[in-house]
Amino acid sequence: MLQSTLKITLAAGCICASQAAAAQQAPGLAAAIDAFAASFASGEGATVASHYAADAVLLPPGAARIDGRQGIAQFWDAVFASGVTDLVLETTELDVLDEAAIEIGTWQLAAPDGTGGTVTPRGKYLVVWQQAEDGTWRLDQDIWNADPAE
């Protein structure tokens, strides 16, 4: 579902002490999460996809599994072309496991409603981050879904 684009806002005030401690265990992870979020403002699939591992897996709701950066870039290009904007993600849990981290959070965005207006769906996500040998953190697995309409 294209409504589930991701524009992440990682606010320090939204992360509890245990999550802040997890981020301290993984230098560079918080910066990688912020950079990924900021990449959505570009409106370019390739820019967003550059934050994923080369062999990453994207599991969008209502769509087939997407493997690799090229396919992920094409997916995000389609999302941007559909008019999705203003995505906000908020990390609610962050667990660091050596060279991997699991991030859970919530998202919301603005999307065209088909009648000239805008809807603001909300949902939740789970991302598995992997740390490369050079210390860079990249999204390895990314899945999300929408909450029921209110």
**In this structure, what DSSP letter does residue 116 have?**
S
Kindly indicate whether the domain formed by 2-146 is annotated with CATH number 2.60.120.260.
no
Q: Per-residue pLDDT for the chain (150 aa), expressed as one digit of tens each?
A: 333 323 332 233 334 445 566 557 777 999 999 899 889 989 999 999 999 999 999 999 999 999 999 999 999 999 999 999 888 989 999 999 989 999 999 999 999 999 999 999 999 999 999 999 999 999 999 999 999 987
Domain boundaries, the chain: 2-146
Rounded CA separation 79/39 (Å) = 14
Whole-structure pTM over 0.85, yes or no? no
Rounded CA separation 89/104 (Å) = 10
Task: Confirm if 8 and 34 have CB atoms less than 8 A apart.
Answer: yes
- What residues pair up with 90 in beta bridges, in sequence order? 106
Distance, first Cα to last Cα, the chain:
18
Element (H, E) at 23: helix 17-25
- Amino acid identity at 132: A
Name which of 104, 121, 99 is nearest 3 in CA terms. Answer: 121
